[in-house]
Amino acid sequence: MLTSIEHDLSQLFGQAFASLDLPFELGSVQRSNRPDLGDYQCNGAMAAAKLGAGNPFVTAEKAVAALNDNGLIEKVDVVRPGFINVFVKADYLAAKLTNYGQDDSFGCQQDLAQTKVMIDFGGPNVAKSMHVGHLRTAIIGDSLQRIFRFKGYSVVSDAHLGDWGTQMGMLIEGLKKRQPDLVYFDENYTGSYPEKSPVTIQDLEVIYPEESGLCKTDPEAAEKARQATLELQNGRSGYRALWQHFVSVSIATLKRDYGELGVSFDLWKGESDADPFIPKVIAQLEQKQISLVDQGALIVPFRDEEGENIMPPLILRKSDGAVMYGTTDLATLYERVHDDNANLVLYVVDGRQQQHFKQVFAAADLMGLNANTEYEHSYFGTVNGKDGKPFKTRSGGVMKLHDLIQMAKDEARKKLAESNFGADFDAEEKEEIAHKVAIATLKFADLRNFRIKDYIFDLEKFSEFEGKTGPYLLMQVARIKSILRKAEEIDAKPGNLLDTSENERSLTFKLLEFPSALDKTVEKRAPHFLCEHLYNLAQEYSSFYQKQHIMNEPDKAKQESLLRLSQICLEQLETGLQLLGIETLERM
């Protein structure tokens, strides 16, 4: 098993502190933020003083004197009042990176296949095109599923479509008005229903907003939609067949938009898939006396020990018998716990749904679903325009995700032309580059922010080839590939890493931080830790390359070592970008 330098040094210093009859944990070592004073720092002597060990400077000197013989440490300095600064040996550093560079995961993968993680990060509604509000759940969720898989977990992702609510009744009633003679509306019909859908996604996108608007102003229309929804949920065959068409044409369009983003799901389930589990959930809640009837509705109240309400109740079933969004979510969680045997369920859903998930999770806890399963709302903030409000089109409408992607492509083409990148490439390669630059622009701009924060969407700024952007990282990857191609042309190839010199030291340390960055990403469910690492690594390589003229290096072994260092850097950048869902380029 590959171990980090922090681990190796912490073990060494832990043994030293233990030999002084002090806790082993005091030997914990971390990377120094003052590389001029040391590569790593141990502050255990300061903590030991609080435990009654006396003067921390003296304790630090004793700990250093008690260090076992090792091939790790070049020099140790003890600085008042009791800090221990450590410099590691150049050959040890090179050997450590050699081992990491030979491992496909850079020491990140673990045997975690027994832990099943389910990630819910879709949530688009049937009959509606995806809009900019779906951008974050898709990008963050996809990155998390890639990272969890890379770490070694067993991962299942679910689009979890909105396909079972009142909008279905609206669509049914809207279509009935337009095509009343369709066989689906004949209650006496007993034959097979047509395989071809009577509507396209374009039809649905016209029908839904018209019916939705009508239901807001016309109580009779709202009641018809409600009744149609109830009949659908109760199994009316014609409505079920029609509903299946709605779902099928919607999924085809969703796959197009998700495909443009490079996002995929293992499951394309929806709220409807929870329907068979709703009776089981309600029966269990009633049996355990967790639920009660209030004004004709079945609810789960949440109260403290004094009987005071601590948050609004979860409404399971309205007085008219219709089930609610919270009911289907609770039933879905029940399915994921009992049928899918998930150990961890992550809901990558907008932060404005926090209250909803608190209610669902609280009800799940009361049912005992948390016995062997963790579930959490890994929420995120909104994408805002420059006015600080949720991002809209120029006319003030909600921007479709497909249109946003096209805007990003147009901006990418413009930036590529201004920068003269790929001026001599053919049209097909130019278009491929524009597409990858556009997706890198959108994804990195989103993922570089801590997920719980809102951010201002600035396409022009995000598509720049300088600064903390996706295009900058693509450019750095293409640059390293170009260096390695030029080296091959002069018959210079990557070889063995030599003892790390000053020029390579900082880059080597940065490469070895990859596992730590990925662990933080998993722990916090926050890809911005990985983004920060990749950006800093790209900058570090750029600085290294400016100081180190690889092509002109007269020492063949040294040149091979530098090329190997470049190769490892390229591999790590490409691996990291792939985990963010960003495809790299061969050249620009």
pLDDT in tens, 249-301: 999 989 988 999 999 999 999 999 999 999 999 999 999 999 999 999 999 99
Residues 170 and 45 in one domain: no
Tell me what pLDDT residue 233 has: 87
pLDDT digits (tens, 9 = 90+) for 290-312: 999 999 999 999 998 888 999 99
Residues 61 and 176 in one domain: no
- pLDDT band of residue 123 (cuts 50, 70, 90) is confident
Is residue 41 situated within a structural domain? Answer: yes
The β-bridge partners of 154 are: 116
Tell me what pLDDT residue 395 has: 65
DSSP code, position 184: G
Give the three-class secondary structure for 420. coil
Tell me what pLDDT residue 393 has: 66
Nearest to 74, CA basis, from 41, 38, 33: 38
Whether 322 has a pLDDT exceeding 90, the answer reads no
When pLDDT is averaged across residues 398-422 and rounded to a whole number, the result is: 89
Q: How far is Cα 498 from Cα 459, in angstroms, rounded to an integer?
A: 43
Nearest to 277, CA basis, from 341, 337, 228: 337
Is residue 506 situated within a structural domain? Answer: yes
- pLDDT band of residue 127 (cuts 50, 70, 90) is confident
In degrees and rounded to multiples of 5, residue 33 shows phi and psi of -90, 5
Residues 191 and 62 in one domain: no
Its sign, for the CA torsion 214, 219, 224, 227, is: positive
Q: What is the DSSP string of 22-55?
A: S-GGGG-EEE-S-TTT-SEEE-HHHHHHHTT---
Contact 265, 159 (CB under 8 A): yes
Q: How far is Cα 84 from Cα 106, in angstroms, rounded to an integer?
A: 28
Residues 84 and 175 in one domain: no
Question: Comparing 335-339, 380-384, 533-537, 569-573, which segment has the lowest mean pLDDT?
Answer: 380-384
Whether 11 has a pLDDT exceeding 70, the answer reads yes
Domain span holding position 238: 166-261
Q: How far is Cα 365 from Cα 363, in angstroms, rounded to an integer?
A: 5
Largest CA distance in the chain: 93
CA distance readout (Å), 352 to 225, 244, 454, 566? 27, 30, 11, 44
CA distance readout (Å), 96 to 110, 508, 561? 18, 9, 14
Tell me what pLDDT residue 398 has: 76
Residues 464 and 569 in one domain: yes
Q: Select from 218, 236, 261 the last residue of a domain.
A: 261
When pLDDT is averaged across residues 97-114 and rounded to a whole number, the result is: 94
Q: Select from 88, 107, 136 the last residue of a domain.
A: 88
pLDDT digits (tens, 9 = 90+) for 456-491: 989 999 999 999 999 999 999 999 999 999 999 999
Q: What percentage of the chain exceeds 90 in pLDDT?
A: 84
Q: Select from 235, 261, 287 the last residue of a domain.
A: 261
Residues 547 and 458 in one domain: yes
Is residue 329 situated within a structural domain? Answer: no
Q: How many domains does the chain have?
A: 3
Whether 447 has a pLDDT exceeding 90, the answer reads yes
Structure-token pair, residue 34: 């003052």
Residues 446 and 574 in one domain: yes
pLDDT digits (tens, 9 = 90+) for 77-97: 999 999 999 999 999 999 999
Residues 72 and 186 in one domain: no
Q: What is the DSSP string of 468-514?
A: SSHHHHHHHHHHHHHHHHHHHHTT----PPPSP-HHHHHHHHHHTTH
Is residue 344 situated within a structural domain? Answer: no
Is residue 209 situated within a structural domain? Answer: yes
Q: Which residues contact 511 (CB under 8 A, 6 or more apart)?
A: 97, 100, 106, 537, 568, 569, 572
Nearest to 210, CA basis, from 198, 225, 197, 196: 225
Residues 81 and 201 in one domain: no
Whether 396 has a pLDDT exceeding 70, the answer reads no
Is residue 279 situated within a structural domain? Answer: no
Between these two residues, 387 and 352, which has the higher pLDDT value?
A: 352
pLDDT digits (tens, 9 = 90+) for 52-62: 999 999 999 99
Tell me what pLDDT residue 90 has: 96
- pLDDT band of residue 17 (cuts 50, 70, 90) is very high
**CATH number for the domain including 76?**
3.30.1360.70
Residues 556 and 456 in one domain: yes
The β-bridge partners of 118 are: 156, 345
Residues 183 and 76 in one domain: no
Is residue 444 situated within a structural domain? Answer: yes
Tell me what pLDDT residue 402 has: 86
Is residue 221 situated within a structural domain? Answer: yes
Residues 64 and 189 in one domain: no
pLDDT digits (tens, 9 = 90+) for 490-545: 999 999 999 989 889 999 999 999 999 999 999 999 999 999 999 999 999 999 99
**Average predicted confidence (pLDDT) for the chain:** 94
Tell me what pLDDT residue 394 has: 65
**CATH number for the domain including 499?**
1.10.730.10
Q: How far is Cα 13 from Cα 24, in angstroms, rounded to an integer?
A: 8
